[in-house]
Amino acid sequence: MPTTGNYFHLHLVSDSTGETLITVARAVAAQYANVTAVEHVYPLVRSQKQLDRVLDEIEEAPGIVLFTLLEKDLVARLEAKCRDINIPSLSIIGPVMQLFEAYLGAATTGRVGAQHVLNAEYFKRIDALNYTMMHDDGQHVEGLEEADVVLVGVSRTSKTPTSIYLANRGVRTANVPLVPGIPLPHQLQALKKPLVVSLHATPERLIQVRQNRLLSMGADTPNDDYIDRQAVTDEVAYARKLSAKFSWAQLDVTRRSIEETAAAVLKLFTDRQRQRFAE
């Protein structure tokens, strides 16, 4: 049987960090709502001895095997083992590399973990992360003009996690909370270079997220304005009014994941950069 009950074993074998494998595997596994993948992740598999342990575990818990290995001897052993015990295996990057090679007419370098080298792009991401952590939740507003993107929004509109996700893509991102009764920093009102994006959600969604937040903190404040229906509705209206006043880009995050929100912000940012370049 390919599965036991409502789960199956998924072996992810990589000679690097395994991030590519995990991302692809989870994207596909998410399409199967009635079955759960039990992940076995094996990063930094670069020797025959390391592969021995992997093969033993695969044999103990047979399932689907996905891999990103560049060493041909390791690939051959892994595929042979999978054939012997009659389980499927697939190289995630193999077909893509073959396509590149055919189109470019050049062989690959075979460098393991080449995407993680300490190049200019890597240090750009580190700089963006440092900037973002320093400018989280309205801190150091005097440096907002140095941002690529500034996210604004009321509490629980995913400003911080979205900022960190964008920073990991090399986008210097600050975020500033919008709180009724508290004046906006004048630095925010005077921004010229950064793209300002106002994140919105429905009152119902905000109340749900805030209630979960309070429960996780062990708080018990049922009458607090933080989750009061009218108070939250007023907050949302206040944020939308400010967005219209300052012509900020607006993004509804009610039904968006952090990744989807970040992708939408990146598109706005890229479109703006392209427009400025054209001018």
Instruction: List residues forming the annotated binding site.
Output: 153-160
Tokens 């959600």 found at: 201
DSSP string, 145-189: GG-SEEEEESTTSSHHHHHHHHHTTT--EEEEE--TTSPPPHHHH
- Phi and psi of 12, rounded to 5°? -115, 110
3-state DSSP helix/strand/coil percent for the chain, to nearest 5? 50, 15, 35
The three-class DSSP label of residue 75 is helix
Q: Which residues carry a binding-site annotation for ADP?
A: 153-160
d(CA 90, CA 102): 20
Four-residue CA torsion sign, 110, 111, 113, 118:
negative
Quick one: which H or E segment has residue 67?
A: strand 63-68
Q: Which amino acid is at 81?
A: K
